[in-house]
Chains A and B, each alone.
Chain A
């Protein structure tokens, strides 16, 4: 069994026909990892024995029966490490399953392997991992994107059929675009965050990486829905995401936000995305230019709101209940200061300090409260656009994968990597990145991602629009 080109849908057909067993599938994943991962570095840890034990007793009649799914190292799986790629969580073993893991298990899937990420999901290149470097499967000198770089790379490199990541400002869609796979960020409240180590609670969402849109619908089906353990998950019925998948886009109105085609973006990225828009026109969609006038403020807005929430969320890492603690502290203040000073990496420190500052007395109104108001304006931009159109088409990232080390010296340049993905998190809507061709750079073919956005809780429509492109011409 070769994993190359193997989708969940195909593996499920083979399993149900008795041509492939879940244990053989785990064997195939192991072989692929042993062959490919030394060059990619997508996995932080893996336990084949555990996966085989689960595969042996999996119920093959369930929707994801026997399908291994790689998990970003920020989501708790009982009995496995969950380091968030941070030194401060070295040695931590999760005592419980996140709700998405409970749901994956209930659907027959096998949570398998921990994937690399930027420390605490803070970054756009996975270079902020304190544990290892993940390389772009298309070019080992380049980054896979981030923060879910490991989850994107293992799918793109055919070392996994699917994986889960988390997206706070683009951390699923951007690495999917740069590695060349499908990455879906569900609407805020569609998927439970219980058991996801919190970065920015009003923005975080868990979603899948897959080879195809069809597979993304299958994984979303398994993980979506209300959870009493996460009061921000909405109590809305979960539609059948596969039912409308192949209904096409004839008659749909698709908006192209003019603010998402900015000066300085890579001309090859623009060309591939414009060509994809023409494909939609050819499929019978009406293409309409729209405006999201507050787009240019999204990055600044995000770095106030996300860092403020992060500074509060990361207060829990105090070296008392879990994780690493500084040796021989003089007193409690010394214990806290050194545990956190030694345990957190540079980017995490930058964000904790910025977030604490914007919440501090005298600055709260000027920064945090103002940012929340600008967030309202960004949300309204989308509401107005969605009165006119059914979905939005744009690039996912303004550039293809950049080189390892290229942006590490300038944090602001790194922040701007998420310029097209951040607004969807602020507005709470859903978005997906799908491959739309390659950009040729230094003789390497680097993937380009098309981002599609749809109103909150319209994932079925989002997936249908994405699927239409995926199947165009086939």
Chain B
């Protein structure tokens, strides 16, 4: 089996993470190395084993659907790098 490989440039783009060429050069071998380590899980026989998503067996926690106090518009936007009229401002999304 060939050594596992993860295309850092491609994945970084998927996850909206702009990397410099130097970063890509540094991260690529490091992540391939970590990936080869992780591959040891292939040795484990997991036939018929249920996956554990969560440490405690809690499912479908419901509460009464009643309104409660939340942030005011002012509090919610207080940390925004750009806001106006009580709204978060971002670069133009739709052209035209």
Do chains A and B stick together as partners?
A: yes
Chain A contact residues, CB within 8 Å of chain B:
91-93, 95-96, 187-189, 202-203, 228, 231-232, 234, 294, 296-297, 299-301, 303-304, 311, 315, 318-325, 329-338, 340-342, 344, 346, 349-350, 352-354, 356-357, 360, 367, 369-377, 379, 411-412, 415, 425-428, 456
Question: B15 interface residue, CB < 8 Å from A?
Answer: yes
What separation, in Å, do the CA atoms of A210 and B84 have in the docked complex? 45
B92 touching A331, Cβ below 8 Å? yes
**Shortest 3 CB-CB distances between A and B: which pairs?**
A428-B55, A341-B18, A372-B51
Is B38 an interface position by the 8 A CB rule?
yes
Could you tell me if A300 and B19 are in contact, using CB atoms closer than 8 angstroms? Answer: no
Q: Are A232 and B58 in contact (CB-based, < 8 A)?
A: yes
- CA–CA, A320 and B91, complex, Å: 10
Q: How far is the CA of A330 from the CA of B18 in the complex (A)?
A: 13
Apart from the given pairs A231-B58, A332-B92, A334-B91, 15 other A-B contacts in the complex at a CB distance below 8 Å: A202-B55, A232-B58, A300-B39, A321-B77, A332-B93, A340-B17, A340-B18, A341-B18, A346-B26, A350-B34, A354-B31, A356-B15, A373-B44, A412-B34, A428-B56
**B2: Cβ under 8 A from any A Cβ:** no
Q: Are the CB atoms of A354 and B34 closer together than 8 Å?
A: yes
Task: Report yes or no: B81 in contact with A319, Cβ–Cβ below 8 A.
Answer: yes
Q: List 28 A-B contacts (CB under 8 A).
A: A95-B76, A95-B78, A202-B53, A294-B44, A297-B44, A319-B81, A321-B80, A332-B91, A333-B16, A337-B17, A342-B18, A349-B12, A354-B31, A354-B35, A356-B15, A357-B35, A367-B38, A367-B41, A372-B52, A373-B44, A373-B52, A374-B41, A376-B49, A376-B52, A411-B30, A411-B33, A412-B34, A456-B55
Residues of chain A lying within 8 A (CB to CB) of residue B37: 299-300, 303, 412
Q: For the complex, count residues of B whose C-beta is within 8 A of A.
A: 53
Residues of the A chain whose Cβ atoms lie less than 8 Å from the Cβ of B38: 300, 303-304, 367
Q: How far is the CB of A427 from chain B (nearest CB, A)?
A: 7
Given A303-B38, A320-B88, A375-B51, are A325 and B82 neighbors across the interface (CB < 8 Å)?
yes
For B75, what are the chain A residues with a Cβ–Cβ distance below 8 Å? 95
Q: A95-B75, A304-B41, A321-B80 are in contact. Are A189 and B6 (CB under 8 A)?
A: no
- Closest Cβ of chain B: how far from A380's Cβ, in Å? 9
| A335 and B90 form a contact (CB under 8 A) | yes
> Complex Cα distance A318/B14, Å?
14
Are A456 and B56 in touch, CB under 8 angstroms?
yes
Which of A228, A315, A341, A379 has the most chain B CB within a 10 Å cutoff? A341
Pick from A92, A315, A332, A369: contact of B51, CB under 8 Å? A369
Residue among B33, B34, B39, B78 facing the most chain A CB atoms (10 A cut-off): B34
Contacts of B18 in A (CB 8 A): 334, 337-338, 340-342
By DSSP majority rule, is chain B's interface helix, strand, loop, or mixed?
loop
Q: Is B46 an interface residue (CB 8 A)?
A: yes
- Using A300-B41, A320-B88, A344-B17 as known contacts, say yes or no to A375 and B79 having CB atoms under 8 A apart: no
Q: Is the CB of A303 within 8 A of B34?
A: yes
Partner of A301, one of B27, B41, B77: B41
| Closest Cβ–Cβ distance, residue B85 to chain A (whole Å) | 15
CA distance A29 to B51 in the complex (A): 47
- Output the residue of B30, B77, B82 with the most chain A CB within 10 A: B30
Task: Compute how far the CA of A427 lies from the CA of B13 in the bound complex, rounded to whole angstroms.
Answer: 34
Question: How far, in angstroms, from A187 to B54 measured CA to CA in the complex?
Answer: 12
- For the complex, is B73 an interface residue (Cβ under 8 Å from A)? no
The yes or no answer to B3 lying at the interface (CB within 8 A) is no
* Chain A residues positioned under 8 Å from B61 (CB to CB): 231
Distance in Å: Cβ of B23 to nearest Cβ of chain A: 7
Closest beta carbon of chain B to A310's beta carbon, Å: 11
Q: Which residue of B lies closest to A318 (CB)?
A: B16
Question: A232 vs B11: C-alpha distance in the bound complex, in angstroms?
Answer: 31
Q: How far is the CB of A85 from chain B (nearest CB, A)?
A: 17
Interface string of B42-70 (1 = CB under 8 A from A): 10101001111111101001010000000
CB distance from B25 to the nearest CB of A (A): 13
**Distance in angstroms between the alpha carbons of A315 and B52 in the assembled complex:** 23
Give B60's nearest chain A residue, CB to CB.
Answer: A231
Known: A95-B71, A337-B18, A428-B55. A374 touches B44 (CB 8 A): yes
A203 near B55 with CB under 8 A, answer yes
Shortest A271–chain B CB gap in Å is 29
CB-CB under 8 A from B13, the residues of chain A are 337
Which A residue's beta carbon lies closest to that of B62?
A231
A337 touches B44 (CB 8 A): no
CA distance A232 to B77 in the complex (A): 28
Residue of A nearest to B82 (CB): A325
Whether A377 touches B44, Cβ cut-off 8 Å, given contacts A341-B18, A372-B52, is: yes
A371 in contact with B41 (CB, 8 Å): yes
Q: How far is the CB of A370 from chain B (nearest CB, A)?
A: 6
- B27 → chain A, closest Cβ, in Å? 6
- Most A CB contacts (10 A, CB to CB) among B26, B33, B82, B90 go to B90
Nearest-Cβ distance from residue B11 to partner chain A, whole angstroms: 5
Within the assembled complex, what's the spacing in Å between the Cα atoms of A325 and B88? 12
Q: Report if A297-B40 is in contact (Cβ < 8 Å); known contacts: A203-B55, A354-B34, A374-B46.
A: yes
Cβ–Cβ contact B31 & A350, under 8 A: yes
One of A301, A331, A357 near B6 (C-beta < 8 A): A357
